[in-house]
Amino acid sequence: MDHKVDNKTHQELFRYLAEMEEERRNQLEKRQQKIWIKINMPANLADTLNLLTKHDLDTIRKNLNLKNMSALRKEDLIKQLVKILPTKFVEVLKLLDKERYELIAKMVKKGGLLSATHLSLSKIEFFMGYGLAFPGVCGGRKLLFMPKELIEAFNKINSMKLKPIIQLNTEWIKLTYGLLYYYGVMSTWAAKNKINKCTNKEIDFLEYINVLSLANDYYRRVKLSYGGFYDERVIDPQAVIEEQKSRPDIDYYPFTKSQLLKASEPGYIDKTPAMNNLMVFLATHYDIEAHEIEELMFFYHQLINLDAPPSEILQNLEQRFEFPSFEIVQKITSLVIDLCNNTRRWILKGHTPNEILLQEKLKMKPVSSPDNTPQHKKADIINFKTGKKLGRNDPCPCGSGKKFKKCCGINQ
């Protein structure tokens, strides 16, 4: 199935995404106004829960998978939660990573209070949604606070036994995010098996899913669909899955553990030599800050993985910069073609088009394959201007007048 879309469709898609982002911001503002409640410290659990809405209490109940409580009135539900939360608090701690555990430890060290100015709303709602800590206003300051019963529960924990679990959870989360940075989508079992190989340990599947589920509620970087994970940047996961399945002979690119951990960092950009060449060209020929170039590369990496044609990158560059000569046009065209053909693709399971082309050349034999031999789809070398597959005898898109095979494609 062909999932390619034209420039107009891409523009409509990005306009739709912008409208969604605006709606999300409006909803966040409304939510911000509701969650900040005035508190008095020290706070106990019953008084804290009484300040929450019934909807907030039901969220805690559902997240903790508490049975036979859905019909309870607010006051009765609070009574049950006061009894259960200290025990559940300890259970949830065992599913956290380093960042969340250290925030809670820091809060306890400061008497149950922590400034919330550096935390996003989604992160604050995670702590509240699992009954770990709650947002409040005290002395005009927005805080995350813990009732005294939860502080006591934390202080009873053997931190020496808990920390190795926290470290393992952290590694699972980071490796999964790194895998999805390069592959876009993965089944939960495939991701789990990859992590087995990276860590040389057999991990428990249900524990892994629980750890990743809570991480997603906090970081919002990965989504669960079609029986698997997909990166937040993937707009149509099913399309990526179908494209991957259409190339059954292509296995997942064997990234190292170190590569995956690097790719797990927020805002990471896989700076290939091709990307570095384009970055150097822009920095040399135009008055542009380094961070602006980084933002452009992040955006172009996203466009390429969304299967946008190379011409869309050129159009974007033309809107931002002047091309004073034909030589500049030729050079930047060549650089963008190189970028597109050397960027790791979700649909190619982390390979670049040029890597796939090289693999195909190595597999070629003098005799033709039998008709019933399964073949995978070729990774196209792309015509920059049209977005279509480029033949070796076609005119080179750089404008030289030579055939592609004797110009920019000489090494293909």
> Which tens digit of pLDDT belongs to each residue from 24-70?
676 666 766 678 888 888 889 999 999 999 999 999 999 999 999 99
pTM across the whole model: 0.81
Range of the domain at 285: 273-341+380-406
314 and 229, same structural domain?
A: no
Whether 3 maps to a domain, the answer reads: no
316 and 230, same structural domain?
A: no
Which of residues 103, 122, 155 is at a domain's end? 155
Q: What is the pLDDT of residue 404?
A: 52
117 versus 227: the higher-pLDDT residue is 117
DSSP state for residue 395 in the 8-state scheme: B
Q: What is the pLDDT of residue 42?
A: 84
Residue 293 CA from chain centroid, whole number: 21
232 and 198, same structural domain?
A: yes
Instruction: Flag whether pLDDT at 73 surpasses 90.
Output: yes
* C-alpha span between 169 and 403 (Å, rounded): 54
223 and 125, same structural domain?
A: no
For 5-35, give one letter per residue: b (16+ CB within 10 A) or e: beeeebeeeeeeeeeeeeeeeeeeeeeeeeb
Which of residues 230, 263, 296 is at a domain's end? 263
Residue 100 banded pLDDT, cuts 50, 70, 90: very high
Q: Is 114 helix (H, G, I), strand (E, B) or coil?
A: strand
What is the tens place of the pLDDT at every residue in 153-198? 999 998 899 999 999 999 999 999 999 999 999 999 999 999 999 9
The residue-averaged pLDDT of 361-383 equals 54
Q: What does residue 134 show for φ and ψ, rounded to 5 degrees? A: -140, 150
**Mean pLDDT across the chain:** 86
* C-alpha span between 392 and 390 (Å, rounded): 7
237 and 172, same structural domain?
A: yes
Q: What does residue 225 show for φ and ψ, rounded to 5 degrees? A: -160, 155
Q: What is the pLDDT of residue 169?
A: 97
173 and 58, same structural domain?
A: no
The residue among 348, 334, 325 whose CA lies nearest residue 385 is: 334
169 and 45, same structural domain?
A: no
* C-alpha span between 110 and 107 (Å, rounded): 5
145 and 51, same structural domain?
A: yes
148 and 40, same structural domain?
A: yes
Whether 369 maps to a domain, the answer reads: no
* C-alpha span between 124 and 147 (Å, rounded): 15
Whether 20 maps to a domain, the answer reads: no
Residue pair 98/167 in contact (Cβ under 8 Å)? The answer is: yes
Q: What is the pLDDT of residue 384?
A: 42
Q: What is the pLDDT of residue 405?
A: 59
Whether 358 maps to a domain, the answer reads: no
Residue 393 banded pLDDT, cuts 50, 70, 90: confident
Whether 367 maps to a domain, the answer reads: no
Whether 375 maps to a domain, the answer reads: no
109 and 63, same structural domain?
A: yes
- E strand or H helix at 144: strand 141-145
Q: Six-digit token pair at 174? A: 């980071």
Of 13-27, 108-122, 228-242, 353-367, the one with minimum mean pLDDT is: 13-27
Whether 348 maps to a domain, the answer reads: no
Q: How big is the CA angle at 5 (ends 314 and 18), to the nearest 5 degrees?
A: 75
Whether 5 maps to a domain, the answer reads: no
Residue 228, C-beta contacts closer than 8 angstroms, at least 6 positions apart: 185, 186, 187, 188, 190, 191, 241
68 and 188, same structural domain?
A: no
401 and 280, same structural domain?
A: yes
| Domains: count for the chain | 3
Which of residues 138, 155, 172 is at a domain's end? 155
Q: What is the pLDDT of residue 385?
A: 43
